[in-house]
Amino acid sequence: MNPANVPAQSGGALASRGRPWATLPGATALGRLARMSNEAGHRAAHPEPVADPSPGEARHRWRNPGQLWRTALATCVVAVYTVMAPFGYALFMAWLMLPTRDPNRRGRRVQAIVRRAFGLMHDVLRWCGLLEFDHRSLRGRFPDGPFVIVANHPTLPDSSALFASVTDLCAVVRADLYRKAWLRPLVEGARHLEGGRGNPLDAARVVEAGVARLNDGFRLMMFPEGSRSPPGDLRPFRRSAFEIACRARVPVVPVVIRCRPVWISKEVPLLRPPAQRPVLTLDVLDPVDPADFGYDSRGMLQAIERRLRGLALDQDASIAPPRADGR
């Protein structure tokens, strides 16, 4: 099944799915904690606007039991990841160092594995009550064929959420990460792109590589702010994503990402989770055709930035449900 084509579902269905452990007799302490969390965080399943805590508020809530056990769980998740990840990377590296005649075909296989792994990770995070997100229940649908996703970037897991939700997805990876010896085989093997290195003309390389990926049938994800969004605001958008879409003549799909209360942002670290369970939502807006802007990336940027900014910063914004034709 292609998750990019899974029809949208209501948020209510999301809350009761994917937690078969909770009904098992003799559930573990972790499971009981998860259920306590779910009851305490009932609002998470029925999201209402929740003010993002300031770092000061987060400190005040340190003694809140909900935050304490979430911190313990987050620490466990990080510890498990730290222990297990090297094995996963080693397997990938061994595989990706083998020669291949078709790097795109292997890239799609790598992406499929990564997509399932991120989907599983979000299932575990949801089951633990650490982060409410289900990649099977997106609001809106992605189109068929190549496109460029542009989105705001309020939290780190939003990128893994997109990876879990979209097939054949490439991303632009920060140059310092891309060049790390332990990560490079994986990001290269998955056909990701290396970001700029501070040279004003790096955009030429990024744009060229992005257009090539789209011509090969991949989808491309870019955060035009270039970094995680500041609290309650968005950074100015950069033009590369729109230029790539214009040159490749593929649509841009804007995605509004919300994480309330915010967690793993620049200001709220991983090991300081909020007292309430954070809810991550992705609202997939209608594709925007660059032809409507005469393939002018500047005009396209302005229109999409205005729309995304308005929706992402509006605490009460509601996104229209998907249309009957599934778009």
Partner 1 sequence: MQDTLETELKQLIVDALMLEDVNPEDIKTDEPLFVEGLGLDSIDALELAMAIHKKFGVRTSADDENNRQNFHSVASLAAFVRAGQAKNAAAAEAAASEAG
Binding-site ranges for partner 1 (CB under 8 A): 196, 198-205, 207, 238-240, 243, 297
Minimum CB separation of residue 206 from partner 1 in Å reads: 8
Q: Helices 65-96 and 29-40 sit at what angle, rounded to 10 degrees?
A: 120
Closest alpha carbon to 165 in 257, 38, 263: 257
Residues 242 and 182: their CA atoms lie apart, in Å, by: 31
Residues 114 and 107: their CA atoms lie apart, in Å, by: 10
Are the CB atoms for 195 and 174 separated by under 8 Å?
yes
The stretches of 134-258 forming alpha helices (DSSP H) are: 157-165, 175-178, 184-189, 202-215, 240-248
Q: Give residue for tokens 């990701």.
A: 192
Minimum CB separation of residue 240 from partner 1 in Å reads: 6
Q: Which is nearer to partner 1, 265 or 297 (CB)?
A: 297
Q: Which is nearer to partner 1, 186 or 207 (CB)?
A: 207
Helix (H, G, I), strand (E, B) or coil at 158: helix
Minimum CB separation of residue 326 from partner 1 in Å reads: 34
Q: Which is nearer to partner 1, 25 or 294 (CB)?
A: 294
Minimum CB separation of residue 288 from partner 1 in Å reads: 18
Q: Which is nearer to partner 1, 199 or 315 (CB)?
A: 199
Name the token pair of 215.
């011509």
Minimum CB separation of residue 196 from partner 1 in Å reads: 7
Q: Which is nearer to partner 1, 127 or 295 (CB)?
A: 295
Name the token pair of 58.
């987060």
Minimum CB separation of residue 187 from partner 1 in Å reads: 20
Q: Which is nearer to partner 1, 196 or 278 (CB)?
A: 196
Q: Give residue for tokens 């040159």.
A: 247
Cis peptide before 261 (omega within 30 of 0): yes
